[in-house]
């Protein structure tokens, strides 16, 4: 079986979909699948340097018809059984109409908008028509597509995200990690790993930092359009000297090693990939319960036993601000942990075991392989039916 995974660009700033694609490609190879990756835009980055077989199309834009021809020729020569679109890449779908391979579309979250623009509806209708399978990372994401008639239920499957669990166990010591990241050795560090834009709630972390004793520092790992605003805000709040912006890191393990606590403050997150990574590194997770499927009953990442989550958030839109009382309650829980970390040791152990049992790259790859096999098996069944009729 030869599978081509199509992704926007090989850049950590691309967000979680890049990590999902890389993890799937590596894990499928261990199961005997010939998994290759193509990047529509940009140049080699962390995935290209990791040993995964990668192709860089260096497309100039979705409206460049010469690029369409180049991509179509590339796929035609590669002759994959399946092209798995980790990112939408609508132009690539259009450019390969008529080629004999199966298409899978990966959906990284629920449709949460009340009104969907007509153009988006048309795009989804096209993708649903062309795709043999639509893979969603949570049951909630699948329901949102089916209820809004953006995907047919019989075409959808759920494959939860997974992390390379053994890889996260091979991380540097806290002392070494803090030297690398230029953090005080005697500080208590609460961190986030995410793309820096408004929906991640990094501004709430800076406000929480003002409510914590001076020994606490914040670590913001990632880059994005909101970084200049966050740097200004940390200056305005008087905590700039206690905040470390690392930018995008190809290897996030030192960041987790440096943390005493992980903060989840996103306005929406379907799965919570960074939370799973933190839990696998034995970093306790503190969060505000906001929109997302990470606690869905079918297969929750977060439970009352493996993380500290506070309810009562009123922040649902970018312009809104969280209540100071809730942020203060969050800070108090973090401070209590800093004063007596042993009290949450059983929670940390529970989180580590939870991720190992449910959300590893191996589990994800096995589920993904079943989707591939069902898609190819359905084709074989259809051919057999046609033979019997003739």
Q: What is the pLDDT of residues 259-274, one digit of tens each?
A: 999 999 999 999 999 9
Instruction: Please answer whether residues 78 and 4 qualify as being in contact, where contact means their C-beta atoms are separated by less than 8 angstroms.
Output: yes
- How high is the pLDDT of residue 14? 74
Return d(Cα 347, Cα 350) in angstroms, integer.
Answer: 5
Which of 37-46, 106-115, 237-246, 369-378 shows the lowest per-residue confidence on average (mean pLDDT)?
106-115
Q: Given this model, what pLDDT does residue 389 score?
A: 45
Decide if 2-162+361-389 and 165-358 have a common fold: yes
Q: Look at the domain 2-162+361-389 and name its fold.
A: Rossmann fold (3.40.50)
Looking at per-residue pLDDT, the higher value among 206 and 19 belongs to 206
Stretch 277-284: mean pLDDT: 98
Please say if the pLDDT value at position 387 is more than 60.
no
Domain ranges of the chain: 2-162+361-389, 165-358
Residue 300 has pLDDT above 50, yes or no: yes
Contact 194, 200 (CB under 8 A): yes
E runs forming strands in 261-324: 261-264, 268-269, 285-288, 291-292, 308-310
Please state which architecture CATH assigns to domain 165-358: 3-Layer(aba) Sandwich (3.40)
For residues 350-359, give the mean pLDDT.
Answer: 98
The predicted pLDDT at position 67 comes to 80
Residue 382 banded pLDDT, cuts 50, 70, 90: very low
Judge whether 252 and 265 are in contact, CB under 8 Å. no
Rounded distance, CA 312 to CA 354, Å? 26
188-193 vs 261-264, strand pairing mode: parallel
Residue 339 pLDDT greater than 70, yes or no: yes
> Across all residues in the chain, what is the average pLDDT?
91
Q: For tokens 């098996």, name the residue.
A: 377
pLDDT average, residue stretch 283-302: 96
Residue of 219, 206, 344, 210 lying closest to 286 (CA atoms): 344
């Amino acid at each position: 079986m030869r599978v081509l995974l199509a992704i926007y660009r090989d850049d950590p700033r691309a967000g979680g979909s890049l990590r999902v694609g890389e993890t799937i490609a590596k894990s499928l190879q261990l199961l005997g699948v010939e998994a290759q990756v193509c990047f529509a835009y940009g140049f080699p980055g962390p995935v290209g340097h990791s040993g995964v077989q990668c192709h860089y199309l260096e497309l100039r834009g979705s409206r460049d018809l010469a690029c369409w021809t180049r991509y179509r020729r590339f796929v035609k020569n590669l002759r994959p059984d399946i092209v798995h679109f980790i990112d939408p890449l609508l132009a690539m779908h259009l450019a390969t109409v008529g080629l004999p391979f199966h298409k899978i579309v990966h959906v990284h979250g629920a449709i949460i908008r009340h009104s969907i623009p007509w153009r988006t509806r048309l795009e989804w209708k096209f993708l649903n028509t062309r795709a043999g399978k639509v893979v969603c990372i949570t049951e909630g994401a699948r329901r949102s597509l089916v209820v809004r008639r953006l995907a047919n239920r019989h075409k959808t499957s759920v494959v939860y995200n997974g992390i390379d669990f053994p890889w996260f166990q091979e991380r540097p010591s806290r002392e070494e990690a803090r030297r690398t990241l230029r953090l005080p050795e005697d500080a208590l560090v609460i961190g986030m790993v995410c793309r820096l834009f408004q929906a991640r709630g990094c501004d709430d972390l800076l406000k929480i930092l003002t409510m914590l004793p001076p020994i606490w520092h914040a670590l913001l790992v990632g880059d994005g359009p909101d970084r200049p605003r966050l740097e200004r805000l940390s200056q305005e709040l008087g905590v700039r000297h206690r905040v470390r912006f690392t930018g995008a890191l190809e290897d996030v393990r030192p960041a987790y090693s440096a943390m005493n606590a992980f903060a989840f403050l996103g306005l929406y997150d379907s799965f919570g990939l960074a939370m799973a990574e933190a839990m696998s590194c034995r970093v306790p997770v503190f969060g505000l319960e906001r929109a997302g499927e990470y606690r869905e009953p079918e297969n929750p990442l977060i439970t009352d036993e493996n993380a500290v989550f506070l309810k009562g958030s009123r922040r649902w839109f970018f312009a809104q601000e969280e209540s100071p009382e809730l942020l203060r309650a969050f800070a108090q829980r973090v401070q209590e942990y800093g004063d007596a970390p042993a009290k949450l040791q059983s929670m940390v152990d529970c989180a580590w075991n939870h991720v190992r049992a449910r959300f590893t790259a191996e589990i994800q790859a096995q589920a993904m392989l079943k989707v591939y096999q069902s898609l190819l098996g359905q084709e074989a069944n259809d051919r057999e039916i046609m033979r019997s009729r003739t």
